[in-house]
Chain A
């Protein structure tokens, strides 16, 4: 039987506010335990929530970026459950009236076509603390620094049909969030977390199959692996005559498998009700329009502009706009060097390879946009060849001086003086009489070998086009 996979993702994104959603405690990542947990976060009696305006603004900004309906009247609800890292005994969330309603984003499939993925909603809620289960006198340790950090939970429609599509959606979402600068969105630090609802159904069937929810997926790579594992598991189960049970499963990256979480007793009976400590949030047009005015150019629009203004291919443009920092970097290089195509090649190939190799963030690269543009300018004015430019690029890693100073100091300047080049060519002809004769006899492809010899003799510094011309004339 042929099956179709159906996936919906729930993404929890920590909003990058200075203070918590309902209290004035700090939200820095990695602080000493409980140094950012104060009376409200600890749920001491008599404390009351006061909503952070920035968090609301960030949620609205996200909503506008995905063309969503903005809830002008949104309401917080209590989601009740007991767990020690949730001191109040309930999480303040939004159930029926979220701040962000239906929206869409588009992903690019392998064949280059676009697919629109529905976003059901995005609601604000508070994060829980952390439980540490190492042995503390046979007890669990609780760190409430994270308790109350604002989260935006972004729920997709079950529109995704493969693990690859799920990853493409997640990457697109991540890119938009980074462009909007509303979250650090670092999966490894938990500021961007993904749960996947996965089901399968026979091709042609319209009803959905029973789904499982996979938790604990903390990298883009694992999203794909976890979903693929789960799809295989469900398929084998059904083919063996079994049934998929609706449950929550944890992904174990070490074993590359999902396994059933011992279901929380009387699970999912959260007894939601409106949070009496908070009044309805009313968002007016003025608030929304002020945020709309601050929206940056988003990745899709930017890619289209790169194609239109700079003549880049869709593929190159897509690679360059994936992160806002990379796109800014490229634009600086392209403008300063006046050569977008070369800029695109150097940024997406040489620079990217450098970052990957050293595991650097773009900001950590010793070669920043201005110097890379200067190097491209020296290729364009024939001071160095494309090949020697790679040597200069290498030298720039350990040498902070200007491109010109490095070229000068290392003697890498391209030799364009025709007198010097002629001498070089004469010597190569004299050293390789056989090949020279072959050329004269009509075996013109030998010219490649002779040019190569000249380049070698010049240690790569000769201008190959000039060499080629002089050789042809002399022979």
Chain B
């Protein structure tokens, strides 16, 4: 399965990654190789195998519904570049 440069650019954009034109081409070639391997794997008959959602043979532990985290706003906001009125400030985003 071939993967071209424009698809790489689309995914890079969705992931907010900047790739130069030559990088996009290189990545397209490498991803095509990986997909080639996956194509090969697709030919294996897996009809009788349940999908694996996690490689560990374990199940999720649950925690009781208890508030354990105190308010640490001041410490946490000290890590942020800009805050005001208790809010984190980010470049204006409006849909």
Contact = CB atoms under 8 A, between A and B. Distances in A.
Contacts, number: 136
A143 B87 contact: yes
Interface in B25-62: 51, 53-54, 56, 58-62
A33 B88 CA distance: 9
B18 to A, nearest CB: 14
Nearest to B56: A279
Given A131-B93, A138-B92, A282-B59, A24 B66 contact: yes
Contacts of A140: 89-94
A52 B62 contact: yes
Q: Is the interface of A mostly helix, strand, loop or mixed?
A: loop
Interface stretch (A268-276, A412-420, A463-471): A268-276
Contacts of B11: 271
A141 B87 contact: yes
A20 B91 CA distance: 27
B87 A132 contact: yes
Interface string A252-282: 0000000001101010010100101011111
Interface residues of A, number: 55
A383 interface: no
B59 to A, nearest CB: 4
Interface stretch (A80-88, A160-168, A201-209, A347-355): A80-88
Nearest to A84: B90
Contact of A137 (B71, B76, B84): B84
A142 B90 contact: yes
A51 interface: yes
B93 A23 contact: no
A376 interface: no
Q: Top 3 closest A-B pairs, CB basis? A: A24-B68, A141-B87, A54-B65
Given A139-B91, A142-B88, 8 more contacts: A53-B64, A83-B93, A84-B93, A136-B85, A140-B89, A140-B90, A141-B84, A141-B87
24 contacts: A17-B65, A19-B67, A23-B69, A24-B67, A32-B73, A34-B88, A35-B73, A38-B69, A53-B62, A55-B65, A84-B88, A84-B90, A132-B87, A136-B89, A140-B90, A141-B85, A141-B87, A142-B90, A143-B87, A269-B14, A276-B54, A278-B60, A280-B53, A281-B60
Interface of B: 10-11, 13-16, 51, 53-54, 56, 58-69, 71-73, 76-77, 82, 84-95
